[in-house]
Structures are given as structure tokens and as C-alpha cells.
Amino acid sequence: MKKEIAKFLYACLICQKSKVEHQKPSGLLQPLFVPEWKWDNIAMDFVSGLPKTGKAIRTGMLVPKLAEIYVEQIVRLHGIPSSIVSDRDPRRMDNRRGQFNL
């Protein structure tokens, strides 16, 4: 029955015209400004949802471990950045943003 409904909705012209888009309208990308000093402003992009491969990947890293390495290696040498830009949607972010205390 589920396949029949999906087939009907796919073929129904009225259903296709009235389908609601569940994304914000895309716009132009906003370029990041050039920081005054290195490590002052950083951008972090996390890639997830990649398909599994046949081989074991030994370079996988979890975010808590990455944060620990970042604090030990970067913050220790260059201080806390003025801003961190991320590509993550606020709906996908949890409430752990306030846990970054040094």
C-alpha cells in the first residue's frame, strides 16, 4: 500500500505543484572577512553521513577528541579565537555550546 501511495503522489500533477519546500530559500554565499591575526577567527566544517567503505578507516575522529586536541594545541599557543564559524544548522546543534569553558 505504501508503494501505491508513493506512486500515486509521484504521478499526481496537483500533488507535485502543491508540494511544500522544507528548506530556506538559498541565497548568495557571504564571504568571510580576512582576520587581522592568524587563528583569530576560524571556520569549522564537519562532514557526516558518508557511506561506509569496505576498508577500515583509522583516521576517524570524534568531536570531543577533536575539541581536546584543539584546546591542547591551538588555544594553548594562540589563545581563544574571537569567533568560530560553523556550517551546522542551529536545529542540529545541541545545547553544549556553553560548555566551552577554559
Report if residue 76 sits inside a domain: yes
Provide the domain limits for residue 91. 35-47+56-101
Report if residue 24 sits inside a domain: no
Residue 2 pLDDT: 85
- Full-model pTM: 0.43
Three cell numbers written together for 53? 567503505
Taking the C-alpha atoms of residue 38 and residue 78, their distance in angstroms, rounded to an integer, is 8
Residue 56 pLDDT: 66
Taking the C-alpha atoms of residue 61 and residue 47, their distance in angstroms, rounded to an integer, is 11
pLDDT of 76-85, one tens digit each?
A: 888 888 887 7
Query: Is 49:92 a contact under the CB 8 Å cutoff?
Result: no
Phi, psi of 67 (to 5 degrees): -65, -40
CA distances from residue 6 to 12, 17, 34, 68 in whole angstroms, order as listed: 10, 15, 49, 47
Number of domains in the chain: 1
pLDDT of 29-80, one tens digit each?
A: 777 778 888 888 888 777 777 777 777 666 666 778 888 888 898 888 888 8
Residue 21 pLDDT: 67
Taking the C-alpha atoms of residue 89 and residue 81, their distance in angstroms, rounded to an integer, is 21
Report if residue 96 sits inside a domain: yes
